[in-house]
Amino acid sequence: MINIDAKNHVRGTSVYLDDIREINGALYALPFYAPVAHAKIVDIDTSKALSHEGVKAIYTEADIPGDNQIGGIIPDEPLFAVHEIHYWGQPLGIIVGTSEHVCRIAREKIHVEFTPLPVITCPREAKSKNFLIAPPRAFRLGDLDSAWKECVTIVEGRVESNGQEHLYIETQGAYARMKEDGSMVISSSTQGPTAVQKTVARVLGIPMHKVEIDVVRIGGGFGGKEDQATPWAVMVALATFHTGKPVKMSMHRMDDMLMTGKRHPYTSDFKIGLSSDLKILAYEVTFYQNAGAAADLSPAVLERTLFHATNAYYVPNVLATGYSCKTNLPPNTAFRGFGGPQGMFVMESAIAKAAETLGVHAYEIQQRNLIKDGEEFSFGQIAEDALAVSTWDECVKKYNLDKRIKKVESFNYDQFRFKKGIAVQPICFGISFTNTMMNHARALVHIYGDGSIGISTGAVEMGQGVNTKLFQIVKDFFDIPISQIRIESTNTLRIANTSPTAASAGADLNGKALEMACNNIWQRLLPLIHDLLDTDTENSFKITDGWVYSGDKKTGLAWTDLVIKALQKRISLSEHAHYATPLIHFDKMTEKGHPFAYHVFGTAIVEVTVDCLRGIYEIDAVDIVHDFGISMNVPVDHGQIEGGVVQGIGWMTMEEILYNSEGRLITNALSTYKIPDIYAVPKAIQIHHIESQGHELAIKKSKAVGEPPLMYGLGAYFAIRNAVRAFNPECDFTFDAPYTPEKVLMDCFRGRKKNVNAYREKNLSDQKL
Ligand code: MTE
Ligand code: LUZ
Ligand code: MOS
């Protein structure tokens, strides 16, 4: 089935938040924010702004009727700052006016007086001062102390990975209007309608049933709207609460970039030990997560870092420790992979360094240590259906790794200015919210009297195609024309207490609930079909093309007639079903359990060419063998792979978030923050499906695909590194992502001995330069 949104997207008729027609008299809200990263607030003077024409009100923490608190996991984050400012861009209040323009001019007139306090942006510094968001966590397996003694090679190192801006095409925003009795409806560009509902109720001091959140779709989230869509919705709700008017906010890109959190930067230390046959015997890693000024989702992100600290490898002796460090940056948040990529990058760096120390290719170490069925992850889950080895084998065979390595080597021998690099990148990603409690969903199905069907679930469509998959599930039960099936907006009145659409589990959780709802209705219709067709045989009835079929034979009973008959017999044609993932559990005391419904595996080969004169590079190819299970929608899933790969490459190579020493974001626009464009994407991405049985807990055995492919992008970092090493083997390399052209250029020449192969190079350079 083609993506059900495709036509409307192309025509520009899909509705996003800013496309909702405002009711006459609607007001606009604009946040104003801290102009410093850490300070005591002395005074906020809003009088000049308030008297600006068109400004209706300015609200700060003093105007909050309920609790000035939006923290999800830990209640440590005020909606509007009180007394103290903790990061540059922290909301201080909102200006409500007749238009966005009016509010913008008024915002310039607000004066904040403050006494500066010391700014900390470095997580290691925060840790040394014991500024932690939550107590540290540690995962342990085996006996590390005795394992080191068995190791023939031990290498240590330090790894940096930077943050990443979500850059959803639709910026944050929300639109609130009053209903009656003090209840309101809020359209929000959120992945988590219930989180918004709960927080609005809390801040306004009203019950949740008075707050209706509605989401038609969002223009991308990538995790950036799992938690951080909430404050903007609460702000417009507050303004509507006080003014009684509809109030809207749709953020300017530069405000959005400045005020919202990003992927967590990490700085980490590792120590890895290997046997003489390249088996990894021991791995010790310490993660310092840069959480920013409040918890947000940081503890959960840190947890997933630990879950993925050994990536797709079996390591018998592990100690992985994580600190969530409190700094004066905007609170960092969920981003596709949710801490997993950060953990995996350190493991891959450790392997790269071990390989370089030993003079072997990294893939020799990677390949020897891939996890197999029956082996244990550090958190106690036993690997099942582990396709690490089979995706690896298929990948190196199908895409001719051996041959390509030889080609790269001979290219590098012949060329001076250009060098090629190749890296193999296996991935392993656990599917389920790591917080077991969150793995549930509901679906509501109505079959109307004319046979048309309305579907509601808790899933938010954000471009990932979940609605198309939900459509396919309905079609499996009730195969009627597409125009007769509608997926409704995600609305808290129809589906309550949802988990956000996240953790790649949106289609699995909501799809399973939808399957149950459809099946329950179908089971009520079956006896009626038997009656109507007057058969007592065990027929396998189904609906095909709007007709009841008996086996492969069309009967005389139309779907629409069946529905009318069902109503005459007073059979319920509505169903609300609840699904909770079975089997999973995790004990935070022992840090052991079975947190994931299943794992997704895959292997990619990444090949790059570096121009060592300029430091720039091109991604020549990404060749993937991926574990889709049995994909229920190949084009949608391939879209997820391509998007994920490019986003991962962006994080690893070019996207560079910079805060100055005062804690101010200086990459707050697309002129200063570079993301992959059409020229930067791989010249070719090949995707091959590994043959697999799928998994019972995956929807229709089609495994979750949203986040895992991002981590193929790690391969780009190591491929570029390998190319640079071919040019300058003398460089004392660090691990510091993103590997921007500036850093590549520095590495090409730092410590480079001019007389290395001087004769060959002179000849080559005369020819090629
Ligand atoms: N794809 C698009 N086009 N836009 C997005 O915002 N978010 C990603 C992924 N793919 C995203 C996307 C993230 S972070 C997640 S968790 C999953 O989609 C969520 O959807 P799913 O659970 O239905 O896979
Ligand atoms: N969100 C969350 C997530 O709350 N828990 C998770 O485990 C998770 N994993 C990936 C993405 N978002
Ligand atoms: Mo995705 S980071 O789980 O929204």
**Contact of 411 with 420, CB cutoff 8 Å:** yes
Examine the residue annotation and report whether 165 is marked as an active-site residue of this protein.
no
The reported pLDDT for the residue numbered 539 is: 76
Q: Which regions of the chain are under pLDDT 70? A: 536-537, 754-769
pTM (2 decimals)? 0.97
Which atom in ligand 1 lies closest to the alpha carbon of residue 644? Answer: 10
Task: Confirm or reject: Cβ of 439 under 6 Å from ligand 1.
Answer: no
Which atom in ligand 3 lies closest to the alpha carbon of residue 706? Answer: 1
Ligand nearest the Cα of residue 334 is 3
Pocket test of ligand 1: the residue of 16, 165, 301, 336 to mutate, having most ligand atoms within 8 Å of its CB, is: 336
| Residue whose pair of structure tokens reads 């009835």 in the numeric block | 541
Pocket test of ligand 3: the residue of 336, 464, 510, 710 to mutate, having most ligand atoms within 8 Å of its CB, is: 336
The reported pLDDT for the residue numbered 220 is: 98
- Residue 214 tokens, joined: 């509605």
The reported pLDDT for the residue numbered 769 is: 44
Ligand nearest the Cα of residue 644 is 1
DSSP code for 62: G
**Contact of 350 with 283, CB cutoff 8 Å:** yes
The reported pLDDT for the residue numbered 757 is: 55
**Contact of 86 with 293, CB cutoff 8 Å:** yes
The reported pLDDT for the residue numbered 79 is: 98
How many whole angstroms from 662 Cα to the centroid of ligand 3? 30
- Residue 701 tokens, joined: 């055995």
The reported pLDDT for the residue numbered 534 is: 84
Which atom in ligand 2 lies closest to the alpha carbon of residue 432? Answer: 7
How many whole angstroms from 378 Cα to the centroid of ligand 1? 27
Task: Confirm or reject: Cβ of 342 under 6 Å from ligand 1.
Answer: no
As a whole number of angstroms, the distance between CA 360 and CA 358 comes to: 6
For the segment 680-691, what is each residue's pLDDT rounded down to a tens digit? 999 999 999 999
Q: Which percentage of the chain shows pLDDT scores above 70?
A: 98
Ligand 2 pocket (Cβ < 6 Å) reads 226, 297, 300, 304, 334, 338, 433-435, 502-503
How many whole angstroms from 522 Cα to the centroid of ligand 2? 33
Spot the catalytic one: 212, 303, 607, 707: 707
Which atom in ligand 2 lies closest to the alpha carbon of residue 502? Answer: 12
Which atom in ligand 3 lies closest to the alpha carbon of residue 221? Answer: 4
Ligand 3 pocket (Cβ < 6 Å) reads 191, 221, 223, 226, 334-336, 338, 502-503, 707
Handedness of CA 248, 253, 258, 261 (dihedral sign): positive
The reported pLDDT for the residue numbered 751 is: 87
Residue of the CA atom closest to atom 4 of ligand 3: 223
As a whole number of angstroms, the distance between CA 744 and CA 616 comes to: 7
How many whole angstroms from 186 Cα to the centroid of ligand 2? 24
Residue of the CA atom closest to atom 12 of ligand 2: 503
How many whole angstroms from 433 Cα to the centroid of ligand 2? 5
Which atom in ligand 1 lies closest to the alpha carbon of residue 225? Answer: 6
β pairing state of 440-447 and 418-431 = unpaired
Q: How many CB atoms lie within 10 A of CB 309?
A: 30
How many whole angstroms from 668 Cα to the centroid of ligand 2? 26
The reported pLDDT for the residue numbered 580 is: 98
The reported pLDDT for the residue numbered 327 is: 98
As a whole number of angstroms, the distance between CA 110 and CA 230 comes to: 24
As a whole number of angstroms, the distance between CA 237 and CA 209 comes to: 14
How many whole angstroms from 501 Cα to the centroid of ligand 1? 8
